[in-house]
A and B are shown apart, each in its own frame.
Chain A
Amino acid sequence: MIMGRSPRGPRTSAVLAAGVLTLAATACAPGSSAPPAPSPAKTAASAVRTDAGALGDVTLTVWDQEVRGGQAAQMKQLNAAFEAKYPNIRLKRVSRSFDDLNTTLRLALSGNEPPDVVEANNGRSSMGQFVKAGQLLPLDAYADRYGWKTRYPDSVLRYSRYSADGKVFGDGNLYGLPQVGEVVGVFYNRAKLTKLGLEPPKTWADFQAALEKAKAGGEVPMQLGNLDKWPAIHVFGTVQGRHVPADQISTLAFGRKGASWTTPENVKAVEELVGWVDKGYFEQGFNGQGYDPAWQAFGKGKGVFLIAGTWLLADLDKALGKDLGFMLPPGAAAGAPPVTTGGTGLPFAITAKSPHPDAAAAYIDFITNADAMKVLTSTGNLPVADTAQQTVQAGPQQDVFTAFGAATKENGLVPYLDYATPTFADTLGAALQDLLAKKATPKEFLDTLEKDYKTFAESNG
């Protein structure tokens, strides 16, 4: 916009300025048009209805982000089956990409007629704030009636739990139910390991020895592209899980009081990770490489290991086929209980203003029940519950199912570190870029994290 050159008298400007200011002062406070709903009361299990077929004619509006490949396929299939089973319930589906959903959901929820079922991101700045604003319905009564709490492992359900005021994450009421699981682990190139004369490592020491051997053998030991800021979080989380007790990681990652980033164990983890940079285990310029080009390079046979989440399974399977392997990060000793970063896909939640909570809950149950888990498997997704009961082809997909089943069964999942505080994803991502580029020492790095964590944990009470 080019500014007008026309002479404008000082009086006109003053009038304009006064107008803007008056407007600012007299308009009502932001958020006052949609007064917060009184915190939805907990309903007793006996008060909810599960006979969806007898609820009369209902239209459910569902907002999801299942837009890609296998995700879209399972949603379509399950929705069709639901409408066939309950002809009285009609689904109005609105699906958007993850980013689009994230930016529009906030506005939609504060309106007077929000959708009935929404897929809300678990983190504090999404689900946490919605809970605080009283916009989501606690689902505990439904969970009891439908038996969700027995079918879903506790280490999975806690990612959708908040206290009623939204302050405590990972504990309290249940606000959503996810369909799929995810776990961060180690992808490896079996052919390259064989060529180097190695077996998939069974212990953490073996793993590091394998990295060393790969380096000596002229391979890229570990593929990493950290331009997008967050990918190194998963690598760091994996190393941290070898050194720091799981309960401490959970406390840190849920942003609760009572832990610290500056413990000797954390220092050791950070130093080990920096050691990997020094020893040249990552490719030169990894901070300037994008996430997608990096895993694509791994798919094309560049790199022996890749620390990443199971969401890459389908694409890497296509690229590497039977050369691809996946395992949980090995422990200090062979057979040690698993500890790894993991969680769930976005949970489905019911809005507090929905006039049809019973129908909505029936829908959520339908897309997460035992049959739904089979549909999820057949469409190439990783079902979050009953994972061990699914039959899949031997190979990388089976590796992933076994790994996730083992991790959830032994409650070995630790939360994503960026859940800790609303700003932590940014703080940690930027700090890791600094650390890995040697712009910050391990101590400076941990002090930065400690400051963000402590500030939040103290003020959050």
Chain B
Amino acid sequence: MQYSSQAVAKPYFVAAIGLFIGQVLFGLIMGLQYVIGDFLFPAIPFNVARMVHTNLLIVWLLFGFMGSAYYMIPEETETELYSPKLAITMFWIFLVAGALTIVGYLAVPYAELARMTGNDLLETMGREFLEQPLVTKLGIVVVALAFLFNLTMTMLKGRKTSVGLVLMMGLWGLAVMFLFSFYNPSNLVMDKYFWWWVVHLWVEGVWELILGALLAFVLIKVTGVDREVIEKWLYVIITLTLVTGIIGTGHHYFWIGTPEYWQWWGSVFSALEPIPFFAMTVFAFNMVNRRRREHPNKAAVLWALGTGVMAFLGAGVWGFLHTLAPVNYYTHGTQITAAHGHMAFYGAYAMVVITLISYAMPILRGRAANSNKAQVVEMWSFWLMTIAMVFITLFLTAAGILQVWLQRMSTNPMPFMAAQEQVALFYWLREGTGVVFLIGLLMYVASFFIGGDEASQKAS
């Protein structure tokens, strides 16, 4: 570790992985409820499990982004962090607030939680992904501001690189767009219109800047390719991202009471959204092929390449699959959406955070790379999780196609629940693959505890 203040990243990474395990466990509960409807009912109704599953995802990715930024910015700016103490304080505040929120979801009926936490003062709860109580939302803003203050102050006193700048733009964008979560008009159309300013402009906008910056950082480190080349690629990729992705928001404005010209704007621009992801894949492989050094951390290189491929497949290809308005008319709000959501989040965001952790964690623990033995286990976990996610996506896609056929296209359309029963086989297969994913994740965790021969550590 070049700068001692980078060490604040470590607890963030540990928390991210811990919450990731929680997310997957709740995913398995929900997957089982899809086929055994009364599983864990009424202790954990599906809506509660889903809230925990999606909120844990968001929170662990935020922990991952913050940890990554705390690790990267000192190295990029070539100076110590403005205030490591503030970073650690914010870590604990965020962790406790996050844990209390999850406990609140599980322990108290949601309506009661809303009443207890002041939802009557400003009604923001009960909207998908933004279910957090008002106090938690305010807490997120406070933590985000303190975090951005800390990093911006660091940036101001140090070297300003393009990687650092793009990362900071992404993180500031994340905080700014989150403010729309406090706007919840009674008019449902307006509510939905601006709800997407948080959700879409996060995951298909500013988060992609963060993704690009993290990937570029790791590629600079592990390939030794000239920074100028990598940063040029980075700008090209994020240009393509925002040029397609901002107007691409329109693919959510097809059927919610918005003007119908969005069917054209949304279809055309979001059809172009795979391009930046394809560029990212080409970029990652190109840089690794042109590498000027053999970095001992093979696992990190694998995660970096995997991020490019899986983000392209999940966000790019599976997004394109149902983004054209005439197709989306039939697929909107079906298991096709769920299939896309799973592979896109894993391929783009889960994997890039793991890439950064995989690269940085050994260094934070005082070595350039883990032992060969530990890396082998980590690479096994890569393949198990990634292949499991591919199959989860394929099974959900199959379920979705059948659902669309039975419920929406048939001349004699089936009711929702009747169609669900017809596709139960695919839900069982998805659940089985989910167990494989969990095994992969546990192997990933295990890889942190595998020591190994001195020789390989010295060689690095």
The finding on whether chains A and B are genuine partners in a shared complex, rather than unrelated, reads: no
